């Protein structure tokens, strides 16, 4: 038990939340390069202008950055009411480190940071249908309503999946407006 507690603590210490603007140039380059590699050629990513992250949640192992995701802070509208949320994007584990639970650790840290530490109302993520089971395992749930966001050309409707993470029981909104660029 003692050993398990120690491992957990070490693991916790190796997942950190950093301000996007405070990343070292090495971290910034790694994150940018892997984001470009994973999503740079995805048509929907190329099609839209995306929000700049405010935070990055990073898992290190042996001082190497192995998994991360970005967080965007935003006041959004859900059924005409304003909520303070953190949007997650670019959840990536470097290829050779996949399947070791590193993304799970990053998502656990995100949950704590979003709901406990920052006391946001919700976490919000926009993703492809294929990732839904992966996020469901970490407490996220899908919503089935129109989700709008801004582009320089005007208001657009999000066509893929939207998932929420909340403290209390699941909600089933009728309309969400991201109130800015998507993430
Ligand atoms: C998705 C991803 C972040 C998972 O990272 P990881 O560190 O390997 O994740 P974990 O080890 O914590 O969990 C692995 C689980 O994710 C599942 N998974 C990985 N990629 C998946 C995908 N594209 N669709 C559905 N499930 C996926 C695995 O099947 C595995 O499930 P299991 O726990 O039931 O065996 C990683 O595969 C990745 O970087 N993929 C490319 C980028 C991407 O698609 N990111 C998601 C953007 S929304």
Evaluate if residue 6 carries a pLDDT over 90. no
All structural domains of the chain: 2-177 (3.40.630.30)
Give the CA distances from residue 146 to residues 83, 149, 178, in Å, rounded to whole numbers and listed in that order.
17, 10, 11
Please choose from 134, 160, 182 the residue to mutate so as to test ligand 1's pocket, defined by most ligand atoms within 8 A of CB: 134
Q: Please, what is the average pLDDT of the chain?
A: 93
Q: What is the pLDDT of residues 24-58, one digit of tens each?
A: 999 999 999 999 999 999 999 999 999 999 999 99
pLDDT digits (tens, 9 = 90+) for 111-161: 999 999 999 999 999 999 999 999 999 999 999 999 999 999 999 999 999
Do residues 23 and 31 lie in contact, with contact meaning Cβ atoms separated by under 8 Å?
yes
pTM, 2 dp: 0.92
- By most ligand atoms within 8 Å of CB, the mutation choice from 89, 99, 140 for ligand 1 is 99
Ligand 1 cavity residues, CB under 6 Å = 38, 67, 91-93, 98-104, 127, 130-131, 133-134
Alpha carbon of 46 to those of 26, 68, 76, 129: distances in Å? 25, 21, 24, 19
DSSP helix, strand, coil percent of the chain (3-state; round to 5): 35, 35, 30
Ligand 1: which residue has its CA nearest to atom 25?
131
Two tokens, residue 157: 């409707």
- pLDDT of 31: 97
């Amino acid at each position: 038990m003692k050993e398990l507690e120690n491992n957990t603590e070490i693991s916790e210490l190796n997942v950190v939340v950093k301000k996007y603007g405070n990343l070292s140039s090495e971290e910034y380059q790694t994150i940018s390069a892997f984001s470009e590699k994973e999503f740079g050629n995805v048509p929907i990513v190329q099609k839209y202008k995306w929000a700049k992250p405010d935070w990055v949640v990073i898992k290190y192992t042996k001082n190497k950055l192995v998994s991360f995701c970005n967080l965007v802070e935003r006041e959004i509208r859900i059924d005409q009411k304003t909520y303070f949320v953190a949007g997650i994007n670019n959840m990536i584990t470097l290829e050779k480190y996949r399947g070791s639970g590193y993304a799970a650790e990053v998502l656990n840290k995100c949950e704590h940071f979003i709901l406990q530490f920052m006391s946001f109302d919700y976490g919000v993520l926009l993703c492809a249908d294929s990732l839904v089971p992966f996020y469901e395992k970490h407490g996220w749930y899908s919503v089935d309503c129109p989700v709008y966001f801004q582009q320089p050309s005007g208001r657009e409707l999000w066509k893929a999946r939207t998932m929420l993470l909340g403290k209390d029981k699941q909600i089933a909104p009728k309309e969400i407006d991201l109130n800015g660029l998507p993430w």
